[in-house]
Amino acid sequence: MNLYRKYRPQTFKDVVGQEHVKAAIVGQLEAGDAAHAYVFSGPRGVGKTTIARLIAKSLNCTERAHGSAEPCGTCQSCVAITEGRAMDVMEIDAASHTSVEHVREHILERVRVAPMHQKHTVFIIDEAHMLSKSAFNALLKTLEEPPAHVVFMLATTELHKIPDTIVSRCQRYQFFMLSPEVMMKRLKGMCEAEGKRVDDDVLREVAYRSGGSQRDAESLLDQLLHLEQSHITRERAVTVIPMTDLGQVKAFLEGWAQRRPQTSIQTLQSVMEGGTDLNGFTARVLEVLRGVLLHRLGAISESMAYTHVQFEDFASVLKEVSDARLTDMLEAAQVAATAPAHEALPQLPLELATIRVCGDGDTVTPPVAPSASAVHFMETIEDSTTVAVSDEDNASAQAGVGSVAAIALEDVKSRWSTFQSKLRKKHASLPLAMELAEPISVDGCAIAIRVPFAFYAETVNAGQNNRLLSTLMSEVLGSTVSIKAVYETSGNAVVDSVVDAFGGVVQE
């Protein structure tokens, strides 16, 4: 039997978390004043259906002590509900029974009939937001004035999809994700009951991956407990649940903090070679950067991604990084996390983020030139992530651009860093092509820039990309200009330094 079924709470005191909901419901049951309809909303796997079942057991328990809300768990009614065979307690999956016909046949018809075995007829409608509009309309009158023996409980993960007319006829309770302490305590208790010893860092990984859902955490733990070993270490657990090495996260961020892209990219290569889930690695980088930034702002938040000691270690690595640059790091990691996946180069978004983060400032470390296999990806980016120049951008450019006038090459060079900074805020991939670019000549209002790779020139000169670049440069210079990329390699010191550092040849 699955853990989450085997250890499903059978009394209110066994329910972990949701203290605000338990206090209100228990108070009603102790006073004998339960509502006729409830709406339970919140994330999946946090106890909504469990609470609904406990209410059904409590209302129908024949041996419940006076003034108590706890069901006895041993009477015929409690046993039948626990085993899922109580005829008067009906659980309806609204996701697969959305029609008004089903509501009429299985709910409205049953409402008119007295319960067969229990005191109350209880309807637990799971994923209630999936019901059709007609089905909700059919329930309205019954929810407003139900028979005394009928109780409705609607559980949903998307409250906004339930009509206000339905919600207003029910008592609504909001459920929340479980805290780290509550989840760890619950998981440890299950391990002890199963006679297994699981290391804390493994349980922390299980809790982190569950995203605050106790049911998801118990499902993951169930997979681990099926290992033959009585003591489950991190080394054993990785065969079932791939884990991110926080030491690699630290090394990666050290490269960012010290503006050493080689360190970060080498760490990234180790992550790839080790078979670590890259999405999970990126998520940990985001979690750490967010945690450190919030800590500096005084908004300390709990996280299952690391222990307090590990957090202090990360904070030490980033202590010399300013708040502004830390924010830029977080934004770069966010762009990498949401970038389109590429089958051949899944690490490319993080490599671009590394170039961006380590290339800012007075001392720019030459970024790693992408391999020739990146050509197809850059062409894909052109089609899928090209940013069109919006009306607001055009209006802004017109407001800041003066009359067409001759521009000197020195003017362009002196404002090149400002132009690149504005570009990073507007586009995810173009900044890579422009990192190694340099202005070489000005002919009237036409600016020629040199790029070291042919596919960079194609990217810069392509349609909407070129219009965006020309618009941004016009804003910076205060005069309408155009940009054209020229592919040249000779005499480019930056390219030569990259080739010297990393080996290889420049491919046309």
Q: How confident is the model at residue 38 (pLDDT cuts 50, 70, 90)?
A: very high
Q: How confident is the model at residue 176 (pLDDT cuts 50, 70, 90)?
A: very high
Q: Token pair 């329930």 is at which residue?
A: 139
Check pLDDT > 50 for residue 401: no
Identity of residue 155: A
Q: How confident is the model at residue 386 (pLDDT cuts 50, 70, 90)?
A: very low
User: For the chain, what percent of residues have pLDDT higher than 90?
Assistant: 31
Q: How confident is the model at residue 71 (pLDDT cuts 50, 70, 90)?
A: very high
Q: Are 177 and 71 in contact (CB under 8 A)?
A: no
| pLDDT score recorded for residue 280 | 85
Q: Among the residues of 32-75, which ranges form H helices? A: 48-60
Q: Which residues contact 398 (CB under 8 A, 6 or more apart)?
A: none
Query: Does the predicted model carry a pTM greater than 0.75?
Result: no
Calpha distance 421→142 (Å, rounded): 61
| pLDDT score recorded for residue 131 | 93
| pLDDT score recorded for residue 296 | 85
- Rg (C-alpha) for the chain, rounded Å, is 30
pLDDT per residue over 331-350, tens digit each? 999 998 888 777 678 888 89
Mean pLDDT value of segment 357-379: 50
Q: How confident is the model at residue 489 (pLDDT cuts 50, 70, 90)?
A: low
Calpha distance 245→179 (Å, rounded): 23
> What is Dmax (Cα atoms) for the chain?
93
Highest mean pLDDT among 60-74, 240-254, 467-481: 60-74
| pLDDT score recorded for residue 156 | 95
Calpha distance 21→42 (Å, rounded): 12
**Distance between alpha carbon 365 and the CA centroid of its chain, in Å?**
31
Q: Using CA atoms in the order 25, 29, 35, 36, what is the torsion angle rounded to 10 degrees? A: 120
DSSP states of 85-140 as a string? --TTEEEEETTT--SHHHHIIIIIHHHTSPPSSSSSEEEEEETGGGS-HHHHHHHH
Mean pLDDT value of segment 321-329: 89
Q: How confident is the model at residue 369 (pLDDT cuts 50, 70, 90)?
A: very low
Q: Token pair 């059904």 is at which residue?
A: 56
Mean pLDDT value of segment 38-53: 94
Highest mean pLDDT among 35-44, 293-302, 350-359, 479-488: 35-44
**Distance between alpha carbon 336 and the CA centroid of its chain, in Å?**
13
Residue 449 belongs to what H/E stretch? strand 446-451
Calpha distance 38→167 (Å, rounded): 8
Give the residue with greater pLDDT, 403 vs 411. 411
Beta strands 121-126; 150-156: pairing state? parallel
Identity of residue 83: E
Q: How confident is the model at residue 361 (pLDDT cuts 50, 70, 90)?
A: very low
- CB-CB neighbours of 495 under 10 Å: 20
| pLDDT score recorded for residue 463 | 80
| pLDDT score recorded for residue 54 | 95
User: Coil, strand or helix: which one is 45?
Assistant: coil
Calpha distance 69→91 (Å, rounded): 21
Tokens of 469: 């670049």
Q: How far is CA 308 from CA 75, 217, 317, 497, in A?
A: 47, 21, 14, 41
| pLDDT score recorded for residue 436 | 77
Calpha distance 406→7 (Å, rounded): 77
Check pLDDT > 60 for residue 389: no
Tokens of 432: 């890579």
Check pLDDT > 70 for residue 179: yes
Q: Which residues contact 297 (CB under 8 A, 6 or more apart)?
A: none
The total number of residues shown for the chain amounts to 508
| pLDDT score recorded for residue 305 | 60
pLDDT per residue over 81-119, tens digit each? 999 899 999 999 998 888 999 899 889 988 888 888 889
What residues pair up with 451 in beta bridges, in sequence order? 487
Calpha distance 264→256 (Å, rounded): 7
What average pLDDT does the chain have? 82
pLDDT per residue over 308-318, tens digit each? 777 788 888 89
| pLDDT score recorded for residue 26 | 95
Check pLDDT > 70 for residue 396: no
From the list 169, 166, 168, 160, the residue with the least C-alpha distance to 138 is 166
Calpha distance 436→456 (Å, rounded): 9
Mean pLDDT value of segment 47-56: 94
